[in-house]
Structure 1
Amino acid sequence: MTDAPHIPAQTQDDMPGDEFRMDPAPDYMPRHAGVGKLKGKVALITGGDSGIGRAVAVLFAREGAKVAIAYFDEDEDAQETQRLVEAEGSEALLIAGDLGVKAHATDTVERTVAAFGQLDILINNAAMQWVDEDLTELSEERLRRTMDSNVMACFFCTQAALPHLKEGACIVNTTSVNAFKGNDSLIAYSTTRGATLAFSRSMASNLVDKGIRVNAVAPGPIWTPFIPASMPAEEVKDFGSGAPMGRAGQPWEVATAFLFLASSDGSYFTGQTLHPNGGMIVGA
């Protein structure tokens, strides 16, 4: 079992946060040698600069995929992820901007295809979250920002990708354990992740006849920039210790679920959700 590192109190001022400022640094490195599970594939990973997205990018690169990394404005994190992908012997394309704007989402997909000649895997992972314990205090601006980032971007990127996805392609969407159990201090975020879950299931049915699989991954408490960027410093201390396994998960432990669903290992999976959540029992 992975040891639980001590997580000291800390906070960041901006969402979605910076990985290079976290203490301890999240663990994103794959544990096993690649065997070419994604050889010849091209993946677009939104929110690919840090956290779960970085871990997925590095793992996909190790398995042979070329990777486009879409991110908001975290340039330093994105450049490090590009370095890590290239260290695996692959290629990375960085694309910054707001995927909640349809024109940018469309441009991101088109730039990916222009650079690599194809698109085989779409990972809709980019999101933002803020604590909102009192719904009456949730501003319209904050609510719309959360919806744009977490829901609209998912729709826009998928719309743009579909003309390029051929039979055998796949889409994997990041949802959350909170879509299943709710969270009284992350009301807007949990709602958007419920939307992502419903979107995944609906699109799986919609695309099954075209041979395109759509699945979801629902992480529990994972040590990513989200945590210090959205929680009070004292609540960040020992984050994840309340999970049944007694610790926060690390990004690499979630990336393996994405690889399973994106590769031929998951060929009989569509409309399904994997739950790397440290032992929380939730409805499927």
Structure 2
Amino acid sequence: MLEGKAAVVTGGSRGIGRAIVERLCRDGAKVVFTYATNEEAAAEVVRTVQADGGHAHAVRLDLADPGGPEQLMKTAEAHLGGLDILVNNAATVHTPTPLAETDAAVFDNVMAVNARSVFLTIRYAARQMRDGGRIVNISSLNTVRPAPGIGPYVASKGALEQLTAVAARELGPRGITVNTVSPGATDTEMLHGSNPPQALQAVTGMTPLGRLGQPSDVADVVGFLVGPDGRWVTGHNLRATGGLA
């Protein structure tokens, strides 16, 4: 379905990002993805994709670096020979802290990774992406179910969702679709690292489908949006949550 397509995925070495990279490669796209620090995890993704006959290339990048996102896009375009698909998946979280006690530096870092980098990659794509391209931004159910202590994270994802809405309207005349996917509780290292077991049991009990999401559940939604069947969907926020809203 994606043969000949060139894709960039940020945060592609683990969890949801890895599942997205593997899904796009299985569908025939060539993918450049970023990772922050875990070189072995990134190398494992490349090996897995290559063993399946696909093409993936890992780039180590600090998305908080103001010049990093645009340099990534230039590098990826040169490596791939163009740009058809952009998936902004990378995100950082922070220790839950009341707003009154949250350091401004924490807010700045979360916004830099989760929102500013998305703005910069979309800005580049708006100039360089081929007509008929696809942009998908990964948000969170927390924007509609906010919890105490995660103000910077929720603010950053809210900004991402609004960038999606604007970009969909600006890029629509070129046939480029822009959508958000908002996962619910998904079985990843990040989820387990930031939530106690009792919280995960509680959210599973509240989810109509009765389980945590799997990274592949989210990746398959992304695969639909960037493939030919997603051509008539733009400006939407698809909540991949197992029914939790």
What amino acid is aligned across from residue 115 of structure 1 in structure 2? Answer: H
Aligned runs of 1:54-73 on 2, under 5 Å?
54-73=18-37
SS in 2 for 1:209: helix
SS in 1 for 2:122: helix
Pick one of 88, 91, 108 that aligns with 1:144.
108
What amino acid is aligned across from residue 10 of structure 2 in structure 1? Answer: T
Distance across 1 between alignment mates of 2:143 and 2:236: 14
Tell me the residue number matched to 1:260.
224
- Cα RMSD of the aligned pairs, angstroms, is 1.6
Matched, 1:178 2:142: yes
Contact kept? 2:33, 2:57, Cα under 8 Å: yes
1:111-162 alpha-carbon deviations (Å, 9 max, x no partner): 1111111110000110011242411121111111111110011011122233
Tell me the residue number matched to 2:179.
215
Aligned runs of 1:31-46 on 2, under 5 Å?
37-46=1-10
Contact kept? 1:213, 1:269, Cα under 8 Å: yes
How far the C-alpha of 1:241 sits from its partner, in A, is 2.0
What's the TM-score once normalised by structure 1's chain length? 0.81
1:204-255 alpha-carbon deviations (Å, 9 max, x no partner): 0111112211011010000112123333x55566474232333211000110
SS in 2 for 1:182: coil
Distance across 2 between alignment mates of 1:44 and 1:216: 16
Identity of aligned residues (%): 34
Tell me the residue number matched to 2:12.
48
Distance across 1 between alignment mates of 2:201 and 2:145: 21
Tell me the residue number matched to 2:96.
132
Tell me the residue number matched to 1:162.
126
Contact kept? 1:105, 1:153, Cα under 8 Å: yes
Distance across 1 between alignment mates of 2:192 and 2:208: 22
Q: CA separation of 1:121/1:224 partners in 2, compared to 1, >3 Å: closer, same or farther?
A: same
Pick one of 53, 67, 73 that aligns with 1:109.
73
How far the C-alpha of 1:44 sits from its partner, in A, is 0.2
Matched, 1:275 2:244: no
What amino acid is aligned across from residue 91 of structure 1 in structure 2? Answer: H
Tell me the residue number matched to 1:6.
none
- The count of corresponding residues between Structure 1 and Structure 2 is 244
Pick one of 174, 177, 188 that aligns with 1:224.
188
What amino acid is aligned across from residue 204 of structure 2 in structure 1? Answer: S
- Write 1 or 2 for the structure with the bigger share of helix: 2
The gaps in structure 2 that reach 5 residues or longer are none
Distance across 1 between alignment mates of 2:64 and 2:19: 23
Distance across 1 between alignment mates of 2:83 and 2:50: 19
Q: CA separation of 1:236/1:83 partners in 2, compared to 1, >3 Å: closer, same or farther?
A: farther
Contact kept? 2:98, 2:150, Cα under 8 Å: no
Contact kept? 2:136, 2:180, Cα under 8 Å: yes
Distance across 1 between alignment mates of 2:3 and 2:105: 43
How far the C-alpha of 1:40 sits from its partner, in A, is 0.8
Distance across 1 between alignment mates of 2:12 and 2:18: 5
Distance across 1 between alignment mates of 2:238 and 2:68: 29
Tell me the residue number matched to 2:117.
153
Deviates further, 53-62 or 86-95: 86-95
What amino acid is aligned across from residue 79 of structure 1 in structure 2? Answer: A
The gaps in structure 1 that reach 5 residues or longer are 1-36
What amino acid is aligned across from residue 146 of structure 2 in structure 1? Answer: G
How far the C-alpha of 1:265 sits from its partner, in A, is 0.5
Tell me the residue number matched to 1:118.
82
How far the C-alpha of 1:96 sits from its partner, in A, is 0.7
Contact kept? 2:82, 2:130, Cα under 8 Å: no
Distance across 1 between alignment mates of 2:66 and 2:132: 26
